[in-house]
Structure 1
Amino acid sequence: MPTLVLLRHGRSTANTSGVLAGWSPGVDLDEHGRAQADAVAERLRPVPLAAIVASPLDRCRQTVAPVLAGRDVAPVTDERFGECRYGDWTGRKLTDLVKEPLWKVVQQHPSAAVFPGPEGEGLAATQARAVAAVREWNAKVEQSHGKDAIWLACSHGDVIKAILADAYGMHLDLFQRIVVDPCSVSVVRYSETRPFVVRVNDVGGDLTGLLPPPKQAGDTGSADESDAVVGGGAGTA
């Protein structure tokens, strides 16, 4: 099955002002965030991307714009990769939210956290719709480009952490142990029996190692692609 590159959007004006942006309109990348987006686009340049899917929020669409440059790939937005709907917490200062009783639930028992207000969403619901989107896109990409295809989803910190927790087989209550910085790259290679988490929060590494290895003459492919390498293997060159 395909390999998924999870790209968090670059630093936004909300990140630097300490505000929980959520689905607030008009939240753009700041100058540093735009530079981050340009830099990650260069890192991704050698990697063929069969599909580029983004959250519909401006900060994600602005992040993938330089990634799309020079590629014959049409950008697609998918609301299931959109930010968690924080309800009445949206637009509030993080320094104020820390004082809310729900803050401790989000930190210690996030699977039970449901954000207040008529538009509030639970983190478990966020994970469910994001993981469903990954599975659907995996099937689409494999059908159209083959099992060795690589595709990219640009999303948000909590959403990416939730997807990674699922890939690790980790309960959502442990997902706060994962760090996903602005414009970081995390990579999951899916197989029939399990996902392999290849990278997490990579903010500067060479990404050419994501390319599938060339087929060797006489290679019978005796090991199933779902198998983990006993002993850990040699890694990527």
Structure 2
Amino acid sequence: MTVILLRHGVSTSNTAGTLAGRSPGVELTERGIEQAAAVAERLATLPIEHIATSPLLRCQRTVAPLADKLGIEPTPDERLIEVDYGTWTGRPIKELVSEPLWKTVQAHASGAVFPNGEGLAAVSHRAINAIRDIDKNLRDNADGRDVLWVGCAHGDIIKAILADALGLHLDAFQRIAVEPASVSVVRYGPHGPQVWKFNDTGTDLSALAASPKTAHATPGGEVPTTAATDNGNATDRDSA
């Protein structure tokens, strides 16, 4: 099975420089709406069979144009929801960077627990389990086909999933950049996950429509594309 991990587009919290977390009503900006439309154009030609999404509004808005083009009803999954940042939710990033916990989040994520919120280790566990469970359910009903599907979530959620797929300790997940509206692609095969792309914001994805045998050979020879515009800096931390 192959999952396209899609981060939501630029949100009002991104541009305001606040940590959105699970705050209700966080919308996409005009730029985010444009990104969602562009993502739909990029992905609509692929044989996508399922869309799972965080239930938060900014993710639902991001997948809506794609879902309309594909004629697929997105399935909300609470396990893909943003981190519960507790009392950090809604606070300006410029204030949070001076908190002692901020350094822990950057350098020792597995030990970070947000005040009155979640720990990143628990977040990683639920996000990875969500992807693997959805993947297994699709595989069990695929009659041997390689099912392509989309999981739309948030920056820290996707980084945790990618860290697991890359065999990285969670403490290294801040080294992974995941920009708004970027796609990352992971194929879960019999010998474990294989990361085909990450933080991709514009390259051709047509190889994902190839047959399983061909597709497995082709992307393996590609160098994953990354963008230099997102270094995990606080300015782009929604965290997503």
TM surpasses 0.5: yes
Percent of residue pairs bearing the same amino acid type: 55
Aligned ranges 1:163-174 → 2 under 5 Å: 163-174=161-172
Normalising by the residue count of structure 2, what TM-score does the alignment of the two structures yield? 0.87
Once residues 222 and 179 of structure 2 are traced to their aligned partners in structure 1, the CA distance between those partners, rounded to angstroms, is: 28
Measured in 1, the distance between the counterparts of 2:120 and 2:213 equals 42
Counterpart among 108, 129, 144 of residue 141 in structure 2: 144
CA shift in 2, pair 1:234/1:53, >3 Å: closer
In the other structure, the counterpart of 1:134 is 131
* Equivalence map 1:125-204=2 (5 Å): 125-145=122-142, 146-204=144-202
Which of the two has greater helix per residue? Answer: 2
Distance of 1:75 and 1:5 partners within structure 2 = 14
Q: Secondary structure at the match of 1:69?
A: helix
Instruction: Tell whether the 8 Å contact from 1:55 to 1:155 is kept in structure 2 after alignment.
Output: yes
Aligned residues: 220
Could you tell me how far 1:70 is from its partner in structure 2?
Answer: 2.8
Give the alignment of 1:59-138 within 5 angstroms: 59-117=58-116, 120-138=117-135
Deviation at 1:144, TM superposition (A): 2.2
Structure 2 unaligned spans of 5+: 224-240
- Cα separation, 2, equivalents of 1:53 and 1:214: 22
Q: 1:233 to 1:6 in 2, by over 3 A?
A: closer
When Rg is computed on C-alpha atoms for both structures, the one with the higher figure is 1
Alignment correspondent of 1:49 = 48
Match of 1:19 in 2: 18
Following TM superposition, the consecutive aligned residue runs of length 4 or more in structure 1 with deviations greater than 3 angstroms are: 213-216, 232-235
Offset from partner CA, 1:36-59 (integer Å, 9 cap, x none): 000011000111111100000000
Unaligned runs of 5+ in 1: 217-224
1:209 aligns with 2:204: no
The root-mean-square deviation of aligned C-alpha atoms, in Å, is 1.8
Alpha carbons 2:44, 2:70 under 8 Å: kept = no
Instruction: Pick closer, same or farther for the CA change 1:154–1:233 going to 2, 3 Å.
Output: closer
Measure how far apart 1:75 and its partner are.
Answer: 1.2
